[in-house]
Amino acid sequence: MEKVVILGTGPAGLTAAIYTARANLKPVVVEGMQPGGQLTTTTDIENFPGFPEGIDGTTLMLKMREQAERFGARYVTGDVVRVDFSGTPLKVFLDEGQTLEATTVIIATGARAKYIGLESEQKLMGRGVSGCATCDGALYRDVPVAVVGGGDTAMEDALFLTRFASKVSLIHRRDEFRASKIMADRVKAHPKIEIHWDSVVEEVLDVSRNEVTGLRLKNVKTGVLTEIPVMAMFAAIGHEPNTRPFKGILSMDESGYLVTRHTVTDIAGVYACGDVQDSHYRQAVTAAGSGCMAALETERYLCSLGG
Ligand code: NAP
């Protein structure tokens, strides 16, 4: 039986791994479908302390992974499909049939991109519709593309896409951005970005050809419909937490985020950190900080058991 099993390898999970490994708890870290988490789909990270020139997400996560490994963290690959937290040991079931048993579990499974929810969007997924500009942006060179959203992710995606696309249409449902001022100002000043305020995507066009050729937009104030030619649409409208295996087992808020108090959940020995329990800050540095908190709570709990 393991002392600590950590679910997830984003900044929260890997910081928890560094701390618990240094405390000689030999954590087993479960690496899922997206090793390194959401940061590996981001471009230059300019706000993680210690990197004045910025650092790309994948490099940062590889460094954190190595750091945890150096102190004795072990990694297993798999997706968590089910957990049994009804008694001791705590059990985690992975998709390939492996079961991990542990005294404590740290949940750091993060969150994933949301989509608008249109049928045409669903049909054209991977054929011009994407939730990850940094993954797919380079496929659309010298053609027009669109980004939907008004938060920092939308700003970052729109700016990133200007490196490849001939033009970036940014579609936002209100008349002001939610994003930080510095990012919004960069977007507003960029000659390749055209902003469609008060607009929503009503239809992703050309389903019949099975690739995106345009969008039908609706102005929510005037009701006017327009069509814009684009070869890709990047949804950047926020995230939902990866909490499905914990439904009915751990307390969640109305959006499905785990409810914690200083990373402590309502089951003894189970902690949660990072975006899976934080719909408010959702920053790499706050995720890492909460990973540290979860590790310290875990250490104290194991000490209280005499282990
Ligand atoms: P977010 O801040 O929640 O913004 C989501 C945006 O999508 C909002 O503008 C929202 O519109 C819009 N939206 C939501 N549902 C929609 C729908 N169904 N149709 C159309 N538009 C919809 O999400 P985020 O941009 O992913 O950012 C998440 C967090 O990560 C934030 O705290 C952000 O600061 C942080 N972040 C930071 C950086 C950075 O600092 N480099 C980069 C990326 C993200 P409304 O504004 O009308 O609600």
DSSP letters for the chain: -EEEEEE--SHHHHHHHHHHHHTT---EEEE-SSTTGGGGG--EE--STT-TT-EEHHHHHHHHHHHHHHTT-EEEE--EEEEE-SSSSEEEEETTS-EEEEEEEEE---EEE-----HHHHHTBTTTEES-HHHHGGG-TTSEEEEE-SSHHHHHHHHHHTTT-SEEEEE-SSSS--S-HHHHHHHHH-TTEEEETTEEEEEEE-TTTTS--EEEEEETTT--EEEEE-S-EEE-S-EEE--GGGTTTS-B-TTSPBP-BTTB-SSTTEEE-GGGG-SS---HHHHHHHHHHHHHHHHHHHHHTT-
pTM summary value: 0.79
pLDDT in the model for residue 50: 96
Q: Are residues 88 and 174 in the same domain?
A: no
pLDDT in the model for residue 41: 66
Q: Are residues 98 and 176 in the same domain?
A: no
Tell me the CA–centroid distance for residue 47 and ligand 1, in Å. Answer: 17
The answer to whether the CB of 149 is under 6 A from ligand 1 is yes
User: Residue 175 belongs to what domain range?
Assistant: 119-235
- To test the pocket of ligand 1, the residue of 282, 285, 286 to mutate (highest count of ligand atoms within 8 Å of its CB) is 282
The answer to whether the CB of 54 is under 6 A from ligand 1 is no
Q: Are residues 90 and 44 in the same domain?
A: yes
pLDDT in the model for residue 45: 81
pLDDT in the model for residue 150: 98
Domain-ending residue, one of 235, 267, 296: 235
Q: Are residues 249 and 104 in the same domain?
A: yes
Tell me the CA–centroid distance for residue 279 and ligand 1, in Å. Answer: 11
Q: Are residues 28 and 162 in the same domain?
A: no
- Number of domains forming the structure of the chain: 2
Q: Are residues 123 and 221 in the same domain?
A: yes
Residue tagged active-site, from 84, 95, 135, 175: 135
Q: Are residues 205 and 191 in the same domain?
A: yes
pLDDT per residue, tens digit, the chain (307 aa), is 999 999 999 999 999 999 999 999 999 999 988 888 877 766 678 889 999 999 988 999 999 999 999 999 999 999 999 999 999 999 999 998 999 999 999 999 999 889 999 999 999 988 999 988 887 898 899 999 999 999 999 999 999 999 999 999 999 999 999 999 999 999 999 999 999 999 999 999 987 788 999 999 999 999 999 999 999 999 999 889 999 999 999 999 999 999 999 999 999 999 999 999 998 888 899 999 999 999 999 999 999 998 5
Domain-ending residue, one of 218, 235, 252: 235
Domain-ending residue, one of 210, 235, 260: 235
Q: Are residues 49 and 131 in the same domain?
A: no
Q: Are residues 257 and 220 in the same domain?
A: no
The CATH number assigned to the domain holding 81 equals: 3.50.50.60
